[in-house]
Amino acid sequence: MKKKEKFGMNYVPTDNDLVFVPLGGTNEVGMVLGMIGHDGEWLIIDCGITFYSSLGIDILTANPTFASRQNSRIKGMLITHAHEDHIGAIEYLWPVLRCPVYVTPFAAAVLRQKLETKSWASKVNITEIQFEGKFSVGKFQAEAIQMAHSIPESAAFVITTPLGTVVHAGDWRFDQTPVIGKKVNESKLEKVGKGNVLAYLGDSTNIFTPSDPSSESIIRENLLNLVKKHSDKRITIACFASNIARAESSILAAEKTGRKIAIVGWSLKKMFAAAQETWYLKEIPHLIDEKTAMSMPPNKVLMLCTGSQGEISSALVRIASGKHPIIKMNEDDIVFFSSRVIPGNEKSIGELHNLLAIRKVDIITSSEENIHASGHPSRESIAKMYKLLKPKAVIPVHGEARHLIAQAHFARDSGIKHVITPHNGSIIQLAGAKPEIIGEVQTGKWAVDGNRMVAFEGSIMQERLKLSEQGAVFATVITERDGIKRIEIGIIGLEERGKPFELLESFIRDEIKANFGKLQGNSSNTRTLESVVSASVAKKIGKRPIVAVHIVTV
């Protein structure tokens, strides 16, 4: 172990170091942000978000403070693919990172959409890279290898330094018959494996799945058969907006069964635009709008819709809850959930299914019919990747703790000599005889709060959480020379309006009056009165609210 004082927010790798530092994406699904450092320079790998739905917050990112401290040393950001958990934070964090961004053409189209409203967009140096072409970023040499995934142009990055090679595979799977893009170049991976691969940084989310899912070409066939089977219904296919292959399969199923196609959901429409800009989905038929779809016989319409994860603002949730301005569903409808359940989304998806059931909408999920293939590697695929790359070390990434630990056990059982289970903030030394965690840096989460970023663990969120759980009391004590003139009380989230509210208000006012004399003339001592108010509310209803007291002398 090196001297601990070397590590901290200003840690800089030497020419004898090759380190990996995950700031997000380990012990959690989403919010991926990793750094690879060597000889005074850094690469960032991915910059993603995760979704949140509480305290007025919809989006979280990794805390980039360590990366921002290294700003002048960051030579580039490599994006493995265009999913939100890998690319979505650039529009929030680039102003503090300010580095060139390297992406494939499809991801570049998605990124430009995200940045089009930003005043600083023109300052972002976006470089489009091609697969299996080497390029230099500072002292690093990189190469992108095309992987199969549930979005076009997912890349595994081979990063080479004088100390050896690191492979960051992003999100991937092996699919021998993909319907969009080429299948994985396994011979290329095998060639990389004949070199000095110090470490493989690998996706862990499907580690509990023993064998590979069906090919996307099989899913295409199954969707067509299912559309034919339900010829009397208006069909909605709910899928991830970014799954361009699934969208194309749905469109072909509609074409072959004489249905018109409507695209429902802003994010899906944006992805369609990015796909067409980069020469995907070029042969799609004329699309109809939502009003036209609702005016046609149900069995002549197929709708593609966002919201398969029960996202509160998504099109399908608004439809199911009766809040969509145009689309209404009833017993004439059936929804195919052509997606997986992302860990953590079980509750929101269940609530969505219930809302649809109340409206007498039929539901078919991927657990009932084979209409979804995960874009993530099973144990079978991971074992194959180990054999191709022959890494000296495996670093499980992208997953909750149980996923990372399970892949770590699997790697050891597969004969990998060195396995390190990271957590956000680990400084992992990949060079040398024995890879190991050699230090820690500060991590955490930032929240997108209105038009600013705030620390998710900071006082703003803590106070907002307490307000949501405990309520708040605001008291203004207006005094004059003879004592208290009047007391104005404001109560939020503690009692129903009417008599209960008035009784609590009166009780707080009486407690302030009874204790005001104990201040012994120190009328600025608001903390004492705040404690009095807090204790009085706890005594009355058993809650400890946020309390603010102001003393005003007139």
Q: What is the pLDDT of residues 241-253, one digit of tens each?
A: 899 999 999 999 9
DSSP SS3 for 176: coil
Rounded Cα gap, residues 467 and 64, in angstroms: 27
User: What pLDDT score does 516 carry?
Assistant: 79
Query: Is residue 405 very low, low, confident or very high in pLDDT (cuts 50, 70, 90)?
Result: very high
The pTM score is: 0.90
Calculate the CA dihedral of residues 44, 397, 443, 41 and round it to 10 degrees: -30
CA angle 232/237/241 to nearest 5° reads 160
Alpha carbon distance 213, 300 (integer Å): 31
pLDDT of residue 3: 44
The ranges assigned to domains in the chain are: 18-211+374-455, 216-363, 471-553
**Separation between Cα atoms, residue 539 and residue 548, nearest integer Å:** 18
Q: Can you tell me the distance from the alpha carbon of 29 to that of 482, in angstroms, rounded to the nearest whole number?
A: 62
Question: For 216-363, which CATH superfamily applies?
Answer: Metallo-hydrolase/oxidoreductase (3.40.50.10710)
d(C-alpha 126, C-alpha 195), whole Å: 30
Tell me whether strands 18-24 and 33-38 are parallel, antiparallel or unpaired. antiparallel
Q: What is the pLDDT of residues 448-467, one digit of tens each?
A: 999 999 999 999 999 999 88
Summarised one tens digit per residue, pLDDT across range 104-122 is 999 999 999 999 999 999 9
pLDDT at 478 over 80: yes
Q: Residue 300 gets which letter from DSSP?
A: G
- Residue 524 confidence class, pLDDT cut points 50, 70, 90: low
User: What was the pLDDT predicted at 519?
Assistant: 65
Tokens of 197: 């691969």
Strand arrangement, sheet containing 362-365:
287-288, 260-264, 301-305, 234-238, 333-337, 362-365
CATH superfamily of the 18-211+374-455 domain: Ribonuclease Z/Hydroxyacylglutathione hydrolase-like (3.60.15.10)
State the average pLDDT over residues 484-508.
89
What's the pLDDT band for 340 if we cut at 50, 70, 90? confident
Distance, CA of 396 to CA of 419 (rounded, Å): 8
Phi-psi bin for 35: left (phi > 0), alpha (psi -120 to 50), beta? Answer: beta
Q: Show Cβ contacts of residue 202 under 8 Å, excluding neighbours closer than 6 positions.
A: 169, 377, 382, 385, 394, 395, 396, 397, 398, 407
Q: Which CATH number fits domain 471-553: 3.40.50.1820, 3.50.50.60, 3.10.20.580, 3.40.190.10?
A: 3.10.20.580
Q: How confident is the model at residue 230 (pLDDT cuts 50, 70, 90)?
A: very high
State percent of the chain over pLDDT 70. 97
Place of tokens 């003339």: 521
User: What is the pLDDT, as a whole number, of residue 252?
Assistant: 94
Residue 315 pLDDT exceeds 70: yes
Is the separation of the CB atoms in 291 and 264 below 8 Å? Answer: no
Fold: same for 18-211+374-455 and 471-553:
no
Close Cβ partners of 138 (under 8 Å, ≥ 6 residues apart):
41, 43, 75, 76
Nearest C-alpha neighbor of 90 from the set 73, 105, 108? 108
Count other C-beta atoms under 10 Å from residue 408's C-beta. Answer: 20
Least confident of 88-97, 487-496, 502-511, 515-524: 515-524
Is 181 or 359 the better-scoring residue by pLDDT?
Answer: 359
Task: Select the more confidently predicted residue: 530 or 292.
Answer: 292
Band of the pLDDT at 416, cuts 50, 70, 90? Answer: very high
pLDDT at 102 over 70: yes
Confidence band of 554 (pLDDT split at 50, 70, 90): confident
Return the axis-axis angle of helices 499-516 and 526-541, rounded to nearest 10°: 140
Separate counts of helices (H) and strands (E) for the chain: 16, 28
**pLDDT greater than 90 at residue 313:** no
**pLDDT recorded at residue 5:** 42
pLDDT of 1 > 90? The answer is no
The mean of the pLDDT values for the chain is 92
Q: What is the model's pLDDT at position 484?
A: 84
Range 243-267 average pLDDT: 94
- Contact between 545 and 504 (Cβ < 8 Å): no
Confidence of residue 7 (pLDDT cuts 50, 70, 90): low
Residue 230 tokens, joined: 């339900």
**Per-residue tokens: 377:** 């590697």
Mean pLDDT of 185-202: 94
